[in-house]
Structure 1
Amino acid sequence: MQRFFAKETLQRLFASFYAETVPETPETPARPKDDDTPPLSPRSLRGLAHPLRMRLLAMLREDGPATASGLAARLGESSGATSYHLRQLASYGFVEDDPDRGTGRERWWRAVHRGSRVESFEEFERHPDPEVRGALTTFLHHHAASHAEQLSTWLGTMDDWPDEWRSTWDISDFSVRLTPRLARELGEKVHALIDSYRGRVPEQTEDSARVRIHFHAFPRRTD
Protein backbone atom coordinates (compact mmCIF):
# COMPACT_ATOMS: atom_id res chain seq x y z
CA MET A 1 0.00 0.00 0.00
CA GLN A 2 1.48 3.34 -1.04
CA ARG A 3 1.68 6.09 1.57
CA PHE A 4 2.65 9.72 1.22
CA PHE A 5 4.45 11.54 4.03
CA ALA A 6 5.33 14.67 2.08
CA LYS A 7 3.83 18.11 1.51
CA GLU A 8 0.86 16.77 -0.39
CA THR A 9 -1.64 16.59 2.43
CA LEU A 10 -5.19 15.53 3.00
CA GLN A 11 -5.28 13.12 5.93
CA ARG A 12 -7.35 10.01 5.42
CA LEU A 13 -7.37 8.98 9.05
CA PHE A 14 -10.45 11.04 9.84
CA ALA A 15 -12.70 11.47 12.92
CA SER A 16 -15.41 13.91 13.91
CA PHE A 17 -16.86 14.88 17.22
CA TYR A 18 -19.93 15.98 15.32
CA ALA A 19 -20.89 12.41 14.35
CA GLU A 20 -19.21 9.93 16.63
CA THR A 21 -19.39 6.22 15.79
CA VAL A 22 -22.12 4.15 17.43
CA PRO A 23 -22.95 0.45 17.08
CA GLU A 24 -24.58 -0.05 13.71
CA THR A 25 -26.72 -2.69 12.04
CA PRO A 26 -27.45 -3.31 8.35
CA GLU A 27 -30.69 -1.36 8.86
CA THR A 28 -28.86 1.81 9.93
CA PRO A 29 -29.66 4.65 7.47
CA ALA A 30 -26.80 5.90 5.32
CA ARG A 31 -27.07 9.42 6.75
CA PRO A 32 -28.08 10.25 10.32
CA LYS A 33 -31.42 11.88 10.95
CA ASP A 34 -31.14 15.58 11.74
CA ASP A 35 -32.61 14.95 15.20
CA ASP A 36 -29.80 12.47 15.89
CA THR A 37 -27.10 15.07 15.18
CA PRO A 38 -28.69 18.34 16.34
CA PRO A 39 -26.95 21.65 15.69
CA LEU A 40 -25.10 23.32 18.54
CA SER A 41 -26.60 26.58 19.76
CA PRO A 42 -24.69 29.36 21.55
CA ARG A 43 -26.09 28.04 24.85
CA SER A 44 -25.29 24.38 24.22
CA LEU A 45 -21.81 25.27 22.93
CA ARG A 46 -21.05 27.11 26.17
CA GLY A 47 -22.24 24.08 28.12
CA LEU A 48 -20.13 21.64 26.12
CA ALA A 49 -16.90 23.62 25.68
CA HIS A 50 -14.99 22.10 28.59
CA PRO A 51 -12.22 19.52 27.99
CA LEU A 52 -13.53 16.95 30.48
CA ARG A 53 -17.14 17.29 29.33
CA MET A 54 -16.10 16.79 25.71
CA ARG A 55 -14.12 13.67 26.65
CA LEU A 56 -17.01 12.27 28.71
CA LEU A 57 -19.52 12.85 25.92
CA ALA A 58 -17.18 11.39 23.29
CA MET A 59 -16.73 8.24 25.40
CA LEU A 60 -20.46 7.77 25.90
CA ARG A 61 -21.06 8.21 22.18
CA GLU A 62 -18.23 5.91 21.21
CA ASP A 63 -18.45 3.17 23.82
CA GLY A 64 -22.02 3.30 25.11
CA PRO A 65 -23.54 3.83 28.57
CA ALA A 66 -21.30 4.05 31.63
CA THR A 67 -21.26 5.18 35.25
CA ALA A 68 -19.46 8.22 36.58
CA SER A 69 -17.07 6.00 38.52
CA GLY A 70 -16.33 3.86 35.46
CA LEU A 71 -15.59 6.91 33.35
CA ALA A 72 -13.46 8.40 36.14
CA ALA A 73 -11.31 5.27 36.28
CA ARG A 74 -10.72 5.35 32.52
CA LEU A 75 -9.89 9.05 32.45
CA GLY A 76 -7.84 9.24 35.64
CA GLU A 77 -10.31 11.69 37.19
CA SER A 78 -12.21 11.65 40.48
CA SER A 79 -15.76 10.29 40.42
CA GLY A 80 -16.88 13.56 41.99
CA ALA A 81 -15.56 15.50 38.99
CA THR A 82 -17.11 13.17 36.41
CA SER A 83 -20.44 13.14 38.29
CA TYR A 84 -20.54 16.93 38.34
CA HIS A 85 -19.74 17.32 34.64
CA LEU A 86 -22.17 14.56 33.63
CA ARG A 87 -24.91 16.44 35.44
CA GLN A 88 -23.90 19.60 33.61
CA LEU A 89 -24.03 17.75 30.28
CA ALA A 90 -27.49 16.48 31.22
CA SER A 91 -28.70 20.02 31.96
CA TYR A 92 -27.76 21.00 28.40
CA GLY A 93 -29.44 17.94 26.87
CA PHE A 94 -26.33 16.00 25.86
CA VAL A 95 -26.68 13.00 28.20
CA GLU A 96 -29.44 11.33 30.22
CA ASP A 97 -30.03 8.48 32.64
CA ASP A 98 -30.08 5.02 31.10
CA PRO A 99 -33.28 3.47 32.55
CA ASP A 100 -32.30 -0.04 31.48
CA ARG A 101 -29.11 -0.02 33.56
CA GLY A 102 -29.63 2.30 36.49
CA THR A 103 -29.96 0.88 40.00
CA GLY A 104 -30.42 2.35 43.43
CA ARG A 105 -26.66 2.28 43.94
CA GLU A 106 -25.35 3.20 40.49
CA ARG A 107 -26.45 5.86 38.05
CA TRP A 108 -25.77 4.97 34.44
CA TRP A 109 -25.49 7.65 31.79
CA ARG A 110 -25.95 7.49 28.03
CA ALA A 111 -25.57 9.98 25.18
CA VAL A 112 -28.84 11.45 23.94
CA HIS A 113 -27.67 11.89 20.33
CA ARG A 114 -25.21 10.15 18.05
CA GLY A 115 -23.40 13.40 17.44
CA SER A 116 -23.66 17.18 17.21
CA ARG A 117 -23.00 19.48 14.30
CA VAL A 118 -22.10 23.10 13.67
CA GLU A 119 -24.22 24.62 10.92
CA SER A 120 -22.39 27.95 10.76
CA PHE A 121 -19.09 28.73 12.44
CA GLU A 122 -19.67 32.39 11.58
CA GLU A 123 -22.62 32.44 13.97
CA PHE A 124 -20.24 31.73 16.85
CA GLU A 125 -17.18 33.59 15.56
CA ARG A 126 -19.18 36.83 15.26
CA HIS A 127 -21.42 36.34 18.28
CA PRO A 128 -21.73 39.49 20.44
CA ASP A 129 -21.16 37.48 23.65
CA PRO A 130 -17.41 36.99 24.22
CA GLU A 131 -18.15 33.83 26.23
CA VAL A 132 -19.62 32.23 23.11
CA ARG A 133 -16.59 33.19 21.03
CA GLY A 134 -14.31 31.84 23.76
CA ALA A 135 -16.32 28.63 23.96
CA LEU A 136 -15.84 28.09 20.22
CA THR A 137 -12.07 28.48 20.59
CA THR A 138 -11.99 26.00 23.48
CA PHE A 139 -14.19 23.55 21.60
CA LEU A 140 -12.13 23.62 18.40
CA HIS A 141 -8.73 23.40 20.09
CA HIS A 142 -9.78 20.48 22.29
CA HIS A 143 -11.32 18.76 19.28
CA ALA A 144 -8.06 19.12 17.34
CA ALA A 145 -6.04 17.91 20.33
CA SER A 146 -8.23 14.81 20.63
CA HIS A 147 -7.52 13.96 16.98
CA ALA A 148 -3.78 14.19 17.61
CA GLU A 149 -4.13 12.06 20.74
CA GLN A 150 -6.03 9.33 18.88
CA LEU A 151 -3.43 9.22 16.12
CA SER A 152 -0.60 9.11 18.65
CA THR A 153 -2.31 6.23 20.46
CA TRP A 154 -2.53 4.29 17.20
CA LEU A 155 1.15 4.89 16.41
CA GLY A 156 2.09 3.63 19.86
CA THR A 157 -0.07 0.52 19.77
CA MET A 158 -0.24 -0.55 16.12
CA ASP A 159 2.18 -3.42 16.74
CA ASP A 160 -0.54 -5.02 18.88
CA TRP A 161 -2.79 -5.38 15.82
CA PRO A 162 -2.75 -8.21 13.24
CA ASP A 163 -0.85 -7.72 9.99
CA GLU A 164 -4.12 -7.29 8.08
CA TRP A 165 -4.94 -4.14 10.07
CA ARG A 166 -1.39 -2.78 10.09
CA SER A 167 -1.48 -2.78 6.27
CA THR A 168 -4.67 -0.67 6.09
CA TRP A 169 -3.89 2.47 8.05
CA ASP A 170 -3.02 5.74 6.36
CA ILE A 171 -1.60 9.15 7.22
CA SER A 172 -1.38 10.63 3.72
CA ASP A 173 -1.16 14.32 2.84
CA PHE A 174 -2.24 16.16 -0.29
CA SER A 175 -2.22 19.80 -1.31
CA VAL A 176 -4.72 20.89 -3.96
CA ARG A 177 -5.42 24.37 -5.30
CA LEU A 178 -9.17 25.03 -4.95
CA THR A 179 -11.73 27.80 -4.85
CA PRO A 180 -14.01 28.10 -1.78
CA ARG A 181 -16.80 26.45 -3.78
CA LEU A 182 -14.65 23.49 -4.77
CA ALA A 183 -13.29 23.14 -1.22
CA ARG A 184 -16.85 22.90 0.06
CA GLU A 185 -17.71 20.41 -2.68
CA LEU A 186 -14.70 18.27 -1.75
CA GLY A 187 -15.76 18.18 1.90
CA GLU A 188 -19.32 17.22 1.01
CA LYS A 189 -18.11 14.38 -1.22
CA VAL A 190 -15.77 13.05 1.48
CA HIS A 191 -18.60 13.07 4.04
CA ALA A 192 -20.94 11.35 1.59
CA LEU A 193 -18.33 8.69 0.85
CA ILE A 194 -17.84 7.94 4.54
CA ASP A 195 -21.60 7.83 5.13
CA SER A 196 -21.94 5.28 2.32
CA TYR A 197 -19.95 2.80 4.44
CA ARG A 198 -22.17 3.11 7.52
CA GLY A 199 -24.12 -0.02 8.38
CA ARG A 200 -22.28 -2.30 5.95
CA VAL A 201 -20.60 -4.31 8.71
CA PRO A 202 -22.82 -5.45 11.63
CA GLU A 203 -21.54 -5.35 15.18
CA GLN A 204 -19.59 -8.44 16.30
CA THR A 205 -18.55 -9.27 12.72
CA GLU A 206 -15.41 -11.38 12.86
CA ASP A 207 -12.18 -9.49 12.09
CA SER A 208 -14.02 -6.14 12.09
CA ALA A 209 -13.10 -3.06 14.14
CA ARG A 210 -14.31 0.48 14.50
CA VAL A 211 -12.19 2.70 12.29
CA ARG A 212 -11.58 6.31 13.27
CA ILE A 213 -11.50 8.72 10.33
CA HIS A 214 -10.11 12.25 10.64
CA PHE A 215 -10.76 14.78 7.89
CA HIS A 216 -8.96 18.13 8.07
CA ALA A 217 -9.24 20.59 5.21
CA PHE A 218 -8.16 24.21 5.41
CA PRO A 219 -6.48 26.86 3.20
CA ARG A 220 -2.84 27.87 3.67
CA ARG A 221 -1.08 31.08 2.69
CA THR A 222 1.92 30.70 0.38
CA ASP A 223 3.40 34.19 0.76
Structure 2
Amino acid sequence: MTTNEPSRPLDARMLRALAHPLRMRMLELLQADGPATATGLGKRVGESSGTTSWHLRLLAEVGLVEEDSERGTKRERWWKPAQKSTRMRVVDFMGDPDLAAPLDTYLRSVIEHRYEAEARFVSELPRWIDRWHDKAVFNDMRLSLTPEEAAAMSAEVDAVLHRYRRDARPGDDSVIAHWSAFPRRARPEESD
Protein backbone atom coordinates (compact mmCIF):
# COMPACT_ATOMS: atom_id res chain seq x y z
CA MET A 1 0.00 0.00 0.00
CA THR A 2 1.25 3.50 -0.76
CA THR A 3 0.31 6.93 0.51
CA ASN A 4 -1.63 7.38 -2.73
CA GLU A 5 -4.34 5.47 -0.87
CA PRO A 6 -6.40 8.32 0.63
CA SER A 7 -8.06 6.47 3.50
CA ARG A 8 -8.17 3.00 4.95
CA PRO A 9 -10.61 1.42 7.39
CA LEU A 10 -9.15 0.19 10.66
CA ASP A 11 -9.25 -3.52 11.40
CA ALA A 12 -8.84 -5.20 14.80
CA ARG A 13 -5.03 -5.49 14.54
CA MET A 14 -4.72 -1.82 13.60
CA LEU A 15 -7.03 -0.80 16.44
CA ARG A 16 -4.91 -2.71 18.95
CA ALA A 17 -1.76 -1.05 17.58
CA LEU A 18 -3.31 2.41 17.78
CA ALA A 19 -4.58 1.84 21.32
CA HIS A 20 -1.43 3.61 22.49
CA PRO A 21 -1.31 7.42 22.57
CA LEU A 22 2.32 7.61 21.41
CA ARG A 23 1.69 5.44 18.34
CA MET A 24 -1.39 7.50 17.51
CA ARG A 25 0.63 10.72 17.81
CA MET A 26 3.44 9.37 15.64
CA LEU A 27 1.03 8.25 12.91
CA GLU A 28 -0.73 11.62 13.08
CA LEU A 29 2.61 13.44 12.63
CA LEU A 30 3.58 11.27 9.66
CA GLN A 31 0.19 11.83 8.02
CA ALA A 32 0.24 15.56 8.64
CA ASP A 33 3.90 16.41 8.00
CA GLY A 34 5.25 13.61 5.84
CA PRO A 35 8.09 11.11 6.20
CA ALA A 36 10.42 11.17 9.20
CA THR A 37 13.06 9.11 10.94
CA ALA A 38 12.63 7.52 14.35
CA THR A 39 15.12 10.10 15.66
CA GLY A 40 13.17 13.01 14.17
CA LEU A 41 9.89 11.71 15.55
CA GLY A 42 11.53 11.07 18.91
CA LYS A 43 12.55 14.72 19.18
CA ARG A 44 9.02 15.85 18.33
CA VAL A 45 7.27 13.57 20.81
CA GLY A 46 9.87 13.68 23.58
CA GLU A 47 10.97 10.05 23.35
CA SER A 48 14.21 8.25 22.51
CA SER A 49 14.83 7.05 18.97
CA GLY A 50 14.86 3.49 20.31
CA THR A 51 11.35 3.90 21.67
CA THR A 52 9.99 5.53 18.52
CA SER A 53 11.75 2.95 16.33
CA TRP A 54 10.08 0.11 18.25
CA HIS A 55 6.65 1.75 17.94
CA LEU A 56 7.20 2.40 14.21
CA ARG A 57 7.96 -1.28 13.65
CA LEU A 58 4.71 -2.20 15.43
CA LEU A 59 2.77 0.22 13.22
CA ALA A 60 4.48 -1.26 10.15
CA GLU A 61 3.51 -4.81 11.16
CA VAL A 62 -0.18 -3.89 10.92
CA GLY A 63 0.15 -1.86 7.72
CA LEU A 64 -0.23 1.67 9.11
CA VAL A 65 3.29 2.87 8.21
CA GLU A 66 5.95 1.70 5.80
CA GLU A 67 9.58 2.38 5.14
CA ASP A 68 10.18 5.22 2.69
CA SER A 69 12.57 3.56 0.26
CA GLU A 70 13.26 6.83 -1.58
CA ARG A 71 14.95 8.36 1.47
CA GLY A 72 17.63 7.47 3.95
CA THR A 73 20.54 5.11 4.09
CA LYS A 74 21.22 1.73 5.66
CA ARG A 75 21.79 3.51 8.98
CA GLU A 76 18.93 5.97 8.68
CA ARG A 77 15.44 4.58 8.04
CA TRP A 78 12.67 6.96 7.00
CA TRP A 79 9.05 6.11 7.63
CA LYS A 80 5.87 7.29 5.96
CA PRO A 81 2.18 6.59 6.49
CA ALA A 82 0.75 3.77 4.42
CA GLN A 83 -2.33 5.94 3.77
CA LYS A 84 -3.26 9.60 4.20
CA SER A 85 -5.86 8.88 6.87
CA THR A 86 -7.68 6.11 8.67
CA ARG A 87 -11.35 5.71 9.36
CA MET A 88 -13.39 3.46 11.56
CA ARG A 89 -16.92 2.43 12.34
CA VAL A 90 -17.30 1.86 16.08
CA VAL A 91 -19.99 -0.74 15.45
CA ASP A 92 -17.39 -2.99 13.77
CA PHE A 93 -15.63 -3.46 17.12
CA MET A 94 -18.45 -3.29 19.68
CA GLY A 95 -19.28 -7.00 19.69
CA ASP A 96 -15.78 -8.17 20.62
CA PRO A 97 -15.09 -7.98 24.37
CA ASP A 98 -11.35 -8.34 23.70
CA LEU A 99 -11.47 -5.03 21.80
CA ALA A 100 -13.39 -3.06 24.44
CA ALA A 101 -10.27 -1.67 26.13
CA PRO A 102 -8.37 -0.87 22.89
CA LEU A 103 -11.50 0.78 21.46
CA ASP A 104 -11.96 2.90 24.58
CA THR A 105 -8.28 3.93 24.59
CA TYR A 106 -8.34 4.75 20.88
CA LEU A 107 -11.52 6.84 21.04
CA ARG A 108 -10.38 8.76 24.11
CA SER A 109 -7.03 9.46 22.42
CA VAL A 110 -8.82 10.75 19.31
CA ILE A 111 -10.78 13.19 21.48
CA GLU A 112 -7.63 14.28 23.34
CA HIS A 113 -5.77 14.86 20.06
CA ARG A 114 -8.67 16.94 18.74
CA TYR A 115 -8.63 19.06 21.88
CA GLU A 116 -4.83 19.48 21.67
CA ALA A 117 -5.03 20.57 18.02
CA GLU A 118 -7.71 23.16 18.74
CA ALA A 119 -5.93 24.40 21.88
CA ARG A 120 -2.67 24.72 19.91
CA PHE A 121 -4.48 26.86 17.33
CA VAL A 122 -5.90 29.12 20.03
CA SER A 123 -2.47 29.54 21.63
CA GLU A 124 -0.96 30.36 18.20
CA LEU A 125 -3.80 32.69 17.22
CA PRO A 126 -1.57 35.79 16.86
CA ARG A 127 0.42 33.91 14.21
CA TRP A 128 -2.69 33.17 12.16
CA ILE A 129 -4.77 36.28 12.70
CA ASP A 130 -3.81 38.10 9.48
CA ARG A 131 -4.79 35.25 7.12
CA TRP A 132 -7.38 33.45 9.23
CA HIS A 133 -9.09 36.17 11.30
CA ASP A 134 -12.51 35.51 9.78
CA LYS A 135 -11.92 32.03 8.34
CA ALA A 136 -11.33 29.66 11.27
CA VAL A 137 -14.60 28.19 12.51
CA PHE A 138 -15.59 26.40 15.70
CA ASN A 139 -19.20 25.28 15.41
CA ASP A 140 -21.30 23.48 17.96
CA MET A 141 -24.86 22.76 16.93
CA ARG A 142 -27.61 20.80 18.63
CA LEU A 143 -29.93 18.92 16.29
CA SER A 144 -32.88 16.61 16.75
CA LEU A 145 -32.31 13.66 14.41
CA THR A 146 -32.98 9.98 14.00
CA PRO A 147 -29.92 7.71 13.76
CA GLU A 148 -30.61 7.36 10.03
CA GLU A 149 -30.73 11.14 9.54
CA ALA A 150 -27.45 11.55 11.48
CA ALA A 151 -25.80 8.90 9.30
CA ALA A 152 -27.04 10.60 6.12
CA MET A 153 -25.82 13.99 7.34
CA SER A 154 -22.40 12.54 8.19
CA ALA A 155 -22.13 10.97 4.73
CA GLU A 156 -22.91 14.36 3.15
CA VAL A 157 -20.29 16.11 5.30
CA ASP A 158 -17.72 13.43 4.42
CA ALA A 159 -18.49 13.93 0.72
CA VAL A 160 -17.92 17.68 1.05
CA LEU A 161 -14.63 17.16 2.89
CA HIS A 162 -13.43 14.69 0.25
CA ARG A 163 -14.17 17.24 -2.50
CA TYR A 164 -11.65 19.57 -0.86
CA ARG A 165 -8.94 16.93 -0.33
CA ARG A 166 -5.97 17.45 -2.65
CA ASP A 167 -2.20 17.66 -2.57
CA ALA A 168 -0.71 20.77 -1.00
CA ARG A 169 0.01 23.76 -3.23
CA PRO A 170 2.05 26.92 -2.65
CA GLY A 171 0.17 29.30 -0.39
CA ASP A 172 -1.79 26.53 1.34
CA ASP A 173 -1.94 26.09 5.08
CA SER A 174 -2.42 22.67 6.63
CA VAL A 175 -6.05 22.69 7.82
CA ILE A 176 -7.66 20.33 10.31
CA ALA A 177 -11.36 19.57 9.91
CA HIS A 178 -12.97 17.65 12.77
CA TRP A 179 -16.38 16.15 12.38
CA SER A 180 -18.44 14.28 14.95
CA ALA A 181 -22.11 13.48 15.27
CA PHE A 182 -23.25 11.62 18.36
CA PRO A 183 -26.30 11.50 20.65
CA ARG A 184 -26.55 12.85 24.17
CA ARG A 185 -29.07 12.22 26.90
CA ALA A 186 -31.18 15.33 27.31
CA ARG A 187 -31.81 14.76 31.01
CA PRO A 188 -29.45 12.13 32.40
CA GLU A 189 -30.99 12.45 35.86
CA GLU A 190 -34.24 10.99 34.49
CA SER A 191 -34.41 7.26 33.90
CA ASP A 192 -35.13 5.89 30.40
Counterpart CA distance in 2 for 1:196 and 1:204 is 16
TM-score by length of 1: 0.78
Q: For residue 175 of structure 1, report the CA deviation from its aligned partner.
A: 0.8
| In the alignment, structure 1 residue 205 sits paired with structure 2 residue 170 | yes
| In the alignment, structure 1 residue 192 sits paired with structure 2 residue 159 | yes
Amino acid in structure 2 at the alignment position of 1:175: R
Q: How does 1:8-87 map to 2 (within 5 A)?
A: 36-87=6-57
Amino acid in structure 2 at the alignment position of 1:123: D
- Tell me the SS of whatever aligns to 2:79: strand
| In the alignment, structure 1 residue 112 sits paired with structure 2 residue 79 | no
- Tell me the SS of whatever aligns to 2:73: coil
Deviations 1:123-155 (A, max 9, x none): 3122142xx111100100000000000000000
Counterpart CA distance in 2 for 1:81 and 1:170 is 37
Counterpart CA distance in 2 for 1:175 and 1:78 is 44
Structure number having the greater helix percentage: 2
Deviations 1:41-95 (A, max 9, x none): 2122112211111111111111111000001111111111101101111111111
Q: Name stretches of at least 5 consecutive residues in structure 2 with no aligned partner.
A: 188-192
Determine which of 119, 122, 125 is the counterpart of 2:91: 122
Higher relative contact order (CA 8 A, sep 6+): 1
Give the share of equivalent positions with the same residue, in percent. Answer: 41
Counterpart CA distance in 2 for 1:203 and 1:173 is 28
Residue of structure 1 equivalent to 2:113:
146
Counterpart CA distance in 2 for 1:39 and 1:162 is 36
TM-score by length of 2: 0.89
- Tell me the SS of whatever aligns to 1:196: helix
Amino acid in structure 2 at the alignment position of 1:134: A
Q: Name stretches of at least 5 consecutive residues in structure 1 with no aligned partner.
A: 1-21, 23-32
Deviations 1:4-37 (A, max 9, x none): xxxxxxxxxxxxxxxxxx8xxxxxxxxxx8x642
Determine which of 148, 157, 172 is the counterpart of 2:139: 172
Counterpart CA distance in 2 for 1:203 and 1:176 is 34
- Tell me the SS of whatever aligns to 1:203: coil
Amino acid in structure 2 at the alignment position of 1:109: W
